[in-house]
Amino acid sequence: MQHIISVLVENKFGALSRISGLFSGRGFNIETLSVGPTLDPSVSMMTIVTEGEDRIIEQITKQLNKLVDVIKVVDLIEKAYVERETALIKVNARPEDRAEALRVADIFRANIVDSSPNTYTIEITGDVNKVEAIINLLRPLGIKELIRTGRIAIAREEVKIAAVRGNLDRRVLSGQAK
Amino acid sequence: MKLSGSQILIECLRKENVKVVFAYPGGVNLPIFDVLYDEKEIEVILCRHEQGGTHMAEGYARVTGRPGVVLVTSGPGATNTVTAIADAYMDSTPLVVLTGQVPTQSIGNDAFQEADVVGITRPCTKYNILVKDVNDLAKAVKEAFYIATSGRPGPVLVDLPKDVVLAKTEFKYPDKVYIRSYSPNYKGNKWQIKQAAESIMKARRPVIYAGGGVLASGASQELLDLAEGMQVPVTQTLMGLGGFPGTHPLSLGMLGMHGTYWANMSIHHSDLIIAVGSRFDDRVTGRVADFAPGAKIIHIDIDPTSIHKVIKADIPIVGDVKVILSGLNQILKFSENGQSGKNQAWLSQISDWRKEHPLAYDQGDKIIKPQYVIERIYEATRGKAIVSTDVGQHQMWVAQYYKFDRPRTFPNSGGLGTMGYGLPAAIGAQKAFPDDLVFCVAGDGSIVMNIQEMATAVSYNLPVKIAVINNKYLGMVRQWQELFYDRRYSSSYLGDGPDFVKLAEAFGAVGLRAKEIGEVDQVLQEALAVKGPVMMDFQVDEEENCYPMVPAGAAIHEMVFSDPEEAEPKKQGEKEQKKADGVLTA
């Protein structure tokens, strides 16, 4: 089963490799990983999409939580959350295909962010299904290049993960033995 | 007044009450050694190889419970420590490793003796940090000591660029450490402790399975109280030996692959396992699917990742072993069940198992059996020595035949299984306790892996007694090849040599040799009479195997007790040929 794990970490050099190293060293797979600073610039938030049975996910969350630089770990799959991914898709846009490319972009409320005599570059943001869907529709036109950010996700409502300095604790909201 | 980074570092070590630093100098850490030159309170032990130095710090830490401190230079100096750091990580040994680094402006330029040590050691340290500014140095060192010794202990590495140790700033040592992302839980959940107490009262066939965590948290007394109060037998892991008196009637000895028959049978047939500071290592559990099928499991550990990792716990308690055991004892003390004798049938069953397959070997009248040497060392030292070992058959024999009664007397490499650990660890232990008798039991294969540290023992006159169990083979490898590879002794035959007596003498130590059974006691007595380091070469039966044994992949009650082909006459010619092949491939 797929899990989306939010990891709040100290914004220090080496923190990312500590976390990715934990995954590779223990043979866990990372499907996507994205990272950026939070409101508090001394803290970064990572979103890691990974897959595994419950036992593996429990180990992943506990092992992550054990790292000294890790402030908090939350497995969002057990919560209500919102997720987004951005993709840039460079498609063939020969004169006869242009109308179709524009139409697809329009349906998905995607933007054309670059054009050249033979290509359009389309920017799409949405949940992973939406991104997959537009890719599938554009495929017949001929996708020349495709880049995706990996997913970011945030919990809805009261489950606040990123917080300001001094208001953080290390409790794992899920996955830890109670 | 402003101090240089080097001076600040040494001030930090003083504040941490560090008395000994195991060290090796080099280009970039010379400023630190220059400060150490005038230092009175901190003694520097110059090792002969950084791996040896780091194992010394491990030995020091294992016998004292205080962090071992290592100081080495950049590049090769630092990378040489990696095996020992990984060893400390696996065995939760607190270390602070200070590595020199090339100046910050040269980092990343492939400078002379540069290595990305923080990168290299990331997976095998509890924490590591590159200090880039002298103003961060004191805090980094303070945190290093705190992280190394708190929670589940482990090695912490601090990388010190040369310009940082030369730069000057005001020295301010933080009083307290606050790391928002790190706060180990010591207390344990009260409700779960209560649950555990109830299970212990109800159980009829309980066993305590105690590991290194008992030693790490100093919980030997609490463990003894629990075991005696509730009449629960105690089996120990390799790492846990000494945490419960080995001569105690409730002691079952070690469990697992080379554990005692009765310990393994107890675990297999128990209805309650109280796992205390132990992590269900694969050398303990055997085939996991068949591990203790009828047992409820209480698992007490400070590290949440240990719980449910291998074996699902019914009552997990995250916290410090000492705190939790004393809480548990408090509850049990007020219960009426304590001495009610409810476990009597169980204890007598165990005592039957004990008689069924005792630890045994067949000592003839000439060739020395390795187990005999261990027994004689036990007698000669009256069980009071600190005994370090290397890794292999001799290590298991020590675990079986030396009854450790005191905590922190058996430094050996458990998790990583590092050959070459024993001698430097013994040196570190002897440095910590100059008046104690320290033995290093090693194999003829493993002792040469860090033999250079003989020079350290001699130059500081650390009187470690080294007993080489010399069977001319990599014994445990040979045993596996015999049992599982059809006696194809590929690269496990070492043959004669080196001449350990001459080798000891070359280093300036005393060398002794025993070839026959009558010489064993004599050699031991001579060795004990010598004030300095001694190396004893015990030439033992070459093909003795370590039994009992749980073959790899078997469940822990499926033990074998002797060579399967014992009855079959040995094909002498063929054996000689295989030895020759071994030499060719070695």
User: pLDDT value at position B441?
Assistant: 98
| Catalytic-residue membership of B113 | yes
Inter-chain CB proximity A63 and B318 less than 8 Å: no
Does residue B171 have an active-site annotation?
Answer: no
Confidence of residue B579 (pLDDT cuts 50, 70, 90): very low
Binding-face residues of A in 141-170 toward B, CB within 8 A:
165-166, 168, 170
B315/B297 Cα distance (integer angstroms): 6
Helix or strand run (H / E) with residue B534:
strand B534-539
How high is the pLDDT of residue B337? 55
pLDDT tens per residue, range B393-411: 999 999 999 999 999 999 9
Q: Quote the pLDDT of residue A25.
A: 92
B112 is catalytic: yes
**Partners of residue B119 in chain A, C-beta under 8 Å:** 14, 17
What are the chain B neighbours of A167 within 8 Å (beta carbons)?
A: none
Q: Which pLDDT score is estimated for B568?
A: 46
Q: Tell me: the pLDDT tens digits for B201-238?
A: 999 999 999 999 999 999 999 999 999 999 999 999 99
From edge to edge, which strands make up the β-sheet containing B510-514?
B386-389, B438-443, B465-470, B534-539, B510-514
**Is any Cβ of chain A less than 8 angstroms from the Cβ of B318?**
yes
Are the beta carbons of B305 and A168 separated by less than 8 Å?
Answer: no
With cut-offs at 50, 70 and 90, classify the pLDDT of residue B585.
very low
Q: Give kind and range of the element (H or E) at residue A43.
A: strand A43-51
Bridge partners for A47 per DSSP: A6, A34
Measure B82 CA to nearest chain A CA, in Å. 16
What ipTM was assigned to the predicted interfaces of this complex? Answer: 0.88
pLDDT beyond 90 at A173: no
Are A18 and B182 within 8 A, CB to CB?
Answer: no
Q: What is the pLDDT of residue A103?
A: 95
- The mean of the pLDDT values for chain B is 94
- Active-site residue (options: B90, B254, B476, B536): B476
Exposed/middle/buried for residue A144 (C-beta within 10 Å: 0-12, 13-18, 19+): middle
Q: What number of other Cβ atoms are within 10 A of residue B342's Cβ?
A: 16
Known active-site residue B571: no
Tell whether B178 lies on the interface with A, counting CB pairs under 8 A. no
Q: Do B308 and A55 touch (CB under 8 A)?
A: yes
